[in-house]
Amino acid sequence: MSITETTTQRPEVGTVDFKLEVVILPVSDADRSKQFYTQLGWREDADFPISEGHRVLQFTPPGSQASVIFGTGVTKAVPGSAGSMLLAVADIDAARADLIERGVDVSEVFHGLAFSDTAETRVPGPDPDRSSYRTFASFRDPDGNEWLLQELKTRLPGR
């Protein structure tokens, strides 16, 4: 069975829904991160001082059902080690422009994102066919957690 066949199959009746709710971001400074994600225009859902050394903040990107949390005492992971998180956007140029207007350092548009054991390939410019899922841009939060913007005009069947 190919990857394409697997990703487009509908789940069997009776399958339990598993909805991604929250991604934990390792950060070094909760207030600096709060300022950054506010600058992005993300909705602040919570800022809970739980106890001394434990504070949880939750932010949600516009249009997303999943959120991120970060804070103090939230995770033992090294700040900036979250890896590449993906934000699907319908128009990558508009998304880039919006972030740049907000003062975010966003990469140029690229395509050919492919990972091997040793490297990642990023070819300058949009995908030549402007196919969904193939054009990207990226930015990082103050700790280095990377966000990928992925242009998605048409979803795969069953999504």
Per-10-residue mean pLDDT for the chain, 159 residues long?
52 76 97 98 96 96 97 96 94 97 97 69 91 94 96 82
Homologous superfamily assigned to 17-80: 2,3-Dihydroxybiphenyl 1,2-Dioxygenase, domain 1 (3.10.180.10)
pLDDT at position 1 is 42
Structure tokens at 51: 């106890």
Q: Which CATH class is domain 83-159?
A: alpha beta
CATH 3.10.180.10 residue window(s) in the chain: 17-80, 83-159
**pLDDT given at position 83:** 86
Residue 104 confidence (pLDDT): 97
Contact between residue 25 and residue 34 where contact means Cβ atoms under 8 Å apart: no
Strands (E), 52-141: 54-60, 67-72, 84-89, 110-115, 120-124, 135-140
Start-end of H helices in the chain: 3-8, 30-39, 92-101
